Amino acid sequence: MAGQTLYDKLWQQHVVESRDDGTALIYIDRHLLHEVTSPQAFEGLRLAGRQPWRLDANLAVPDHNVPTDAAERSGGVDGIVDPVSRLQVKTLDDNCGDFNIVEIPINDRRQGIVHVVGPEQGATLPGMTVVCGDSHTSTHGALGALAHGIGTSEVEHVLATQCLITRKMKNMLVKVDGQLQPGVSAKDVALAVIGRIGTAGGTGYAIEFGGEVVRKLTMEGRMTLCNMSIEAGARMGMVAVDDTTIDYVKGRPYAPTGEQWEQAVAAWRELHSDADAEFDTVIELRGEDIQPQVTWGTSPEMVLPVDGSVPDPEAQPTATAKEAVRRALEYMGLSAGQKITDIRPDRVFIGSCTNSRIEDLRAAADVVRGRKIAASIKQALVVPGSGEVKAQAEAEGLDRIFIDAGMEWREPGCSMCLAMNADKLGAGEHCASTSNRNFEGRQGFGGRTHLVSPAMAAAAAVAGHFVDVRSIAEDV
């Protein structure tokens, strides 16, 4: 009999009941909540007269609506200018108070994007099942956890029962061997994988990322990679536990200590696919083949290496594909054959649950250090993923590097990734963004998003157009 994959093991450890129809009741260890997808779930509990099943499994933090402007932020919840956003954040506070759920509130130093805060606080650990009403919950799979996004009905279901009714996914291995070239990061790997398999390529699968390149990635890099599994269609992505994982978790506020730490580590050491495990699909990439990536269209699969040129609709194989490219070019204001390096961003956004961790900020700072952003850039936002990331960056002097270059150093939150707060693009504006989705209107009505790595966003800010970060020294 073939061995088990990492996903098989995680699944098996959490099955409460298997049912004849192929579904199973799966136990949930950690449930993260934020203000956008939880109010209707709490309301559902109230209407049904139900209480949370297990309080200590839940942790809440507001992130989507919070202002990142220091002045507005200083007023806390009451200081949020937009009344609709204010009510939503206030509602999270009230619901957590009413149901006794632990919340990290808006101006707590630990506050930040839920997918940055969870691992950072040790609230998400290897071997856990982790869910949240947010599709980028796949991020937590980087710790060797089974983590995925859920809808609001399921948020209510998890609150009430500590379980989910679900069906086992198929196994996909994305194996990246060899090594990455300098200047190429986990974000480029994620985009290259999506470019290869498409935004529906992972639908129905749990992805495990493996291979030499993944083994050498830091935890921050692994989180970036797993974060974007959903952009490849997979609800979850994961990486096997190794020393990098265990070193990262050790000493985190909610991580186990003493005897329980030893016991936990022994269990976590088993969290890898067996050598003879069989995957339903295997995708292989070579690290040295991956160039810095830039998206040109309105779906993350519309991506090219930075030295590429925008495709021609007429060259597409099917009528649907021709139409999709034609529509994307029209929305993006680009023409077939245009060089990626000729696209000039109006704004730059460095942040989001994909790329707002300390390593991301260091990579961006390395590029802008001692330089100025181009005069044509209207705004370059740097939004740390959490208060802890912000404090660390400030201790390293990264904030000064950004400010001296002409960038804005903000308070933590989701910010311009989805523009639910005041940070947004104007119609027709192009943005070099380290976020995860380039959908129409995502960063603001009529806004045009180009997804890139933090180093590539910083390089575009300095050059005023997309440029291979590896050539920035000569180019600027």
Quote the DSSP letter at residue 29. S
- Residue 263 or 376 with smaller CB distance to other proteins: 263
Please report the DSSP string for 248-281 in residue order.
HHTT-TTS--HHHHHHHHHHHTT-S--TTB--SE
Nearest to 440 by CA among 320, 300, 234, 346: 300
Q: Return all residues near 83 (Cβ < 8 A) that are at least 6 apart.
A: none
Distance CA 250, CA 429 (A): 43
Beta bridge partners of 349: 381, 433
Nearest to 163 by CA among 9, 10, 21, 17: 17
Question: Taking a C-beta distance cutoff of 8 angstroms, is the pair 435, 413 a contact?
Answer: no
Closest distance to other proteins from the beta carbon of 249 (Å) = 11
Contact region with other proteins (CB under 8 A), list: 196-204, 220-228, 341-349, 468-476? 196-204
Of 256-285, which residues contact other proteins (CB under 8 A)?
A: 256, 260-261, 263-264, 267
- Residue 13 or 181 with smaller CB distance to other proteins: 13
Please give the helix or strand (H or E) that residue 349 lies within, else none.
strand 347-350
- How many residues are listed for the chain in this entry? 476
Beta bridge partners of 173: 208, 282
Quote the DSSP letter at residue 116. H
Question: Taking a C-beta distance cutoff of 8 angstroms, is the pair 186, 227 a contact?
Answer: no
Of 66-105, which residues contact other proteins (CB under 8 A)?
A: 82, 84-85, 87-88, 91, 102
- Residue 79 or 122 with smaller CB distance to other proteins: 122
Site membership for other proteins, residue 62 (CB under 8 A): no
Site membership for other proteins, residue 395 (CB under 8 A): no
Contact region with other proteins (CB under 8 A), list: 124-132, 212-220, 354-362, 465-473? 124-132
- Residue 101 or 363 with smaller CB distance to other proteins: 101
Contact region with other proteins (CB under 8 A), list: 171-179, 368-376, 432-440, 457-465? 432-440
Q: Return all residues near 80 (Cβ < 8 A) that are at least 6 apart.
A: 65, 66, 67, 72, 86, 89
Site membership for other proteins, residue 50 (CB under 8 A): yes
- Residue 183 or 202 with smaller CB distance to other proteins: 202
Contact mark string toward other proteins, 291..330, x via CB under 8 A: --------x--------------------x--xx--x---
Contact region with other proteins (CB under 8 A), list: 56-64, 240-248, 334-342, 467-475? 56-64
Of 2-41, which residues contact other proteins (CB under 8 A)?
A: 16-17, 19, 21-23, 25, 27, 29, 36-37, 39-40
Q: How far is CA 399 from the centre of its chain?
A: 22
Closest distance to other proteins from the beta carbon of 336 (Å) = 19
- Residue 39 or 105 with smaller CB distance to other proteins: 39
Closest distance to other proteins from the beta carbon of 178 (Å) = 30
Using DSSP bridges, classify how beta strands 236-238 and 281-286 pair: parallel, antiparallel or unpaired. Answer: unpaired
- Residue 153 or 179 with smaller CB distance to other proteins: 153
Question: Taking a C-beta distance cutoff of 8 angstroms, is the pair 412, 390 a contact?
Answer: yes
Of 403-422, which residues contact other proteins (CB under 8 A)?
A: 418-420
Of 362-391, which residues contact other proteins (CB under 8 A)?
A: none
- Residue 23 or 309 with smaller CB distance to other proteins: 23
Tell me how many degrees the CA angle 339-425-373 measures, rounded to the nearest 5. Answer: 60
Of 137-176, which residues contact other proteins (CB under 8 A)?
A: 148-154, 156-157, 160-163, 165, 167
Q: What are phi and psi of 289, to 5 degrees?
A: -80, -10
The single residue among 105, 178, 204, 313 that binds other proteins, judged by CB under 8 A, is 204
Please report the DSSP string for 403-461 in residue order.
HHHT-EE--SSSGGGTT-SS--PPTT-EEEE-SS---TTTTSTT-EEEE--HHHHHHHH
Q: How many residues bind other proteins (CB under 8 A)?
A: 86
Contact mark string toward other proteins, 326..365, x via CB under 8 A: -x--------------------------------------
